[in-house]
Amino acid sequence: MVALAFFAGRSRSLAIATNVGGIPYLNSLPFYYGALTAVWCAIPSLVVLLIWNFADNYFISNMIVAELPESALELVEGKKDLLVNQVYNVAEGIMPREMAPDYIVAASERLEVILWWNRMLLAVVCLSIGILGSLFVWMKITPKFKARLHVEGVFLGVLFVSACIAILTTVGIVFSVLFESIKFFTKVPITEFLFGLEWSPQMAIREGQQGSSGSFGAVPLFVGTLLIAAIAMIVAVPTGLMSAIYLSEYADRRIRDWVKPALEVLAGVPTVVYGFFAALTVAPFIRDMGIGLGLDGFMTISSESALAAGLVMGVMIIPFVSSLSDDVINAVPQSLRDGALGLGSTRSEVIKQVVLPAALPGIMGGILLAGPRAIGETMIVVMAAGLAANLTMNPLDSVTTVTVQIVTLLVGDQEFNSPKTLAAFALGLVLFIVTLGLNYLALHIVKKYREQYD
């Protein structure tokens, strides 16, 4: 239909053009008349379609509820949704008719009728809006009508809306985690969440049980997250930095041409692969080594250790740190190196005493940018770090992290509005705020650093 509108608009403009003496006498090319007609045909009906789709569920549910007998409504008391769901299930054949009460079956039959009418009505409305829109433009086509300007306006509008999706996403994230978190904090005080030392949300599964509220002290999670992230950074920062230095200051071109892409491959490996590697190979190796060294006498050695997850995560972050350091080191002006070399410094002295101090802010920024990666990394810790919320600094013990808990709380069956589910959103909120803060700080530092040498 949109195509039809396009051709209708275009042919109309062509027809008018012949009347006034040819295409050059039109304000815009025929293409734009066609395009404008098509746009007026498509966009309003699409908008209606979208709104309709979101709204119709609500209206239909209300209509169904109106159909249901009073007695049934009183029976379930306030859980209208449940009944409506049953009606839908029966209508779609998921639930056998024989099992449902009569009034549900009746309502489901009614529902089918409503749905059919709904679809028909929608089609009719959309079609007619499309036709009306096209007609509206079609009528307006005259030699003086500035179709091109209108089309360009629409084009710009589409571009602008696309650009705003980034903002919408952020708003979406903030709303989704914030609202659920606020609900959570009405059930569990925020101070308990932030400063409590015990985490055992599993107790909340069975309702009516003693102490069913569980305990939601997230400190063990924060400590676990920081422990693993710290191990990862201890691995990644020196290794990544030294790799970048060696590649840019010492290695000859052939070596660099091979090593650089190889390190980049490390960045492209999916995290689930790292997780598998950590769980299958690294964790048992570390446990065996810990026991082999006789460390089990002094501390707990778990098969899922913070060290395994941290080490593998560190390897994952190496290319990130190294490429950021590379940029930063290359931004240090050659004149500084010349100055130091001219005084008779060795290469390492130039790097250690001139290049690195000069690049320090940039490198700090890079490390801060790597932080959110380590803190927000999910799969490696889910697969290798474990679930036990131990409050420990022992890297050989099993710890859990914020991301692991979000996954465990939300995967599988869940009821909304239980503190257990909401807790995941509260954790998500903390994660979001921390990563955003770190990122903002890092970008600020890096920007300042760049300005210094521009």
Partner 1 sequence: MIKMAEDVKDEQKMQSAEPSAAENDSAGPQDMSAKIQGTVGRPFVDDAKIKMRGVNVFYGEKQAVFAVDLDIKENEVISMIGPSGCGKSTFLRCINRMNDTIDICRVEGSIQLDGMDIYESKLDVVPLRARVGMVFQKPNPFPKSIYDNVAYGPKIHGLVSRKSDLDEVVESSLRRAGLWDEVKDRLDSPGTGLSGGQQQRLCIARTIAVSPEVILMDEPCSALDPIATAKIEELIAELSENFTIAIVTHSMQQAARVSHRTAYFHLGNLVEVNETDKVFTNPDHDLTEAYITGRFG
Partner 2 sequence: MTKAVSTQAELVERSLKKRYRAEKRFKIAGIISISVGIAALFALFIEIFGNGIGGFSQTKIKLDIVLDSEELEIYDVNNEEEVSNGYYEGVIRLALRKKFPEVKSRGDRRKLYSMISDGASYRLRDLVMADTSLIGQTKTFWFLADDDFDTYFKTLLDGDPYTARVDEKQRAWVDQLIEEGNIEKGFNTAFFTSGDSSEPELAGILGAVIGSLLTLAITLALSFPIGVAAAIYLNEYAPKNRLTELIEVNIRNLAAVPSIIFGLLGLAIFINLFGMPRSVPTVGGLVLTLMTLPTIIMSSRAALEAVPPSIREAALGLGASKMQTILHHVLPLALPGMLTGAIIGMAQALGETAPLLMIGMVAFIVDVPSWFTDSATVLPVQIFLWSDSPERAFVEKTSAAIMVLLLFLIFMNTMAVLLRKKLERRW
Instruction: Kindly tell me the number of DSSP H helices and DSSP E strands found in the chain.
Output: 18, 2
Q: How far is the CB of 331 from partner 1 (least distance, A)?
A: 10
Could you tell me the smallest distance in angstroms from the CB atom of residue 408 to partner 2?
A: 10
Q: Which residue has the tokens 């091109």?
A: 148
301 vs 350, which CB is nearer to partner 1? 350
> Which CB, 169 or 346, lies closer to partner 1?
346
Q: Which residues pair with 215 in a beta bridge?
A: 200
Listed in sequence order, the residues at least 6 apart from 312 whose beta carbon sits closer than 8 Å to its beta carbon are 274, 275, 277, 278, 282, 380, 384
CB of 245 to partner 1, least distance (A): 13
Q: Kindly indicate which of the ranges 15-23, 225-233, 268-276, 333-341 contains the residues binding partner 1, using the contact rule CB under 8 A.
A: 333-341
Which listed option, partner 2, partner 1, none, makes contact with residue 336 (CB within 5 to 8 Å by class)? partner 1
CA distance 165 to 366: 27
448 binds partner 1 (CB under 8 A): no
424 binds, among partner 2, partner 1, none (CB under 5 to 8 A by kind): partner 2
Q: Which residue bears the tokens 């920081």?
A: 226
* Contact with partner 1 (CB under 8 A) among 337, 374, 420, 429: 337
Closer by beta carbon to partner 2, 286 or else 382: 382
**The residue to which tokens 């009418």 are assigned:** 117
Our CB check for partner 1 shows the closer of 81 and 264 to be 264
Of 335, 325, 317, 330, nearest to 362 by C-alpha is 325
Residue 210 near partner 1 by CB under 8 A: no
Residues 184 and 171: their CA atoms lie apart, in Å, by 19
Q: Does residue number 354 form part of the binding site for partner 1 (CB under 8 A)?
A: yes
Does residue 445 touch partner 1 according to CB under 8 A? no
212 binds partner 1 (CB under 8 A): no
Interacting stretch for partner 1, rule CB under 8 A, among 56-64, 129-137, 209-217, 331-339? 331-339
314 within 8 A of 234, measured Cβ to Cβ: yes
Q: Is 346 in the site for partner 1 (CB under 8 A)?
A: yes
The item of partner 1, partner 2, none sharing an interface with residue 432, based on CB under 5 to 8 Å by kind, is partner 2
Show the CA angle centred on residue 450, arms to residues 447 and 454, nearest 5°: 135
**354 or 389, CB closer to partner 1?**
354
Task: Give, as ranges, the residues between 221 and 260 that touch partner 1 (CB under 8 A).
Answer: 248, 251-253, 256
Burial of 375 (0-12, 13-18, 19+ CB in 10 A): buried
187 — alpha (psi -120 to 50), left (phi > 0) or beta? alpha
| Cα–Cα dist 126/315, whole Å | 55
Ranges of H-type helices in 68-201: 70-76, 80-91, 102-140, 147-187, 190-195
3-class SS of residue 187 = helix
333 binds, among partner 2, partner 1, none (CB under 5 to 8 A by kind): partner 1
User: How many chain residues bind partner 1 (CB under 8 A)?
Assistant: 25
187: Cβ–Cβ under 8 A, 6 or more apart, which residues? Answer: 213, 419, 422
Q: Report the residue number, 319 or 395, with the smaller CB distance to partner 2.
A: 319
State the Cα–Cα distance between residues 236 and 258, nearest whole angstrom.
20
Segment interacting with partner 1, rule: CB under 8 A, options 61-69, 78-86, 306-314, 344-352: 344-352
342 binds, among partner 2, partner 1, none (CB under 5 to 8 A by kind): partner 1
Q: Which partner, partner 1, partner 2, none, binds residue 166 by CB below 5 to 8 Å per kind?
A: partner 2
* Residues engaged in binding partner 1 (CB under 8 A): 248, 251-253, 256, 330, 333-346, 349, 353-354, 357-358
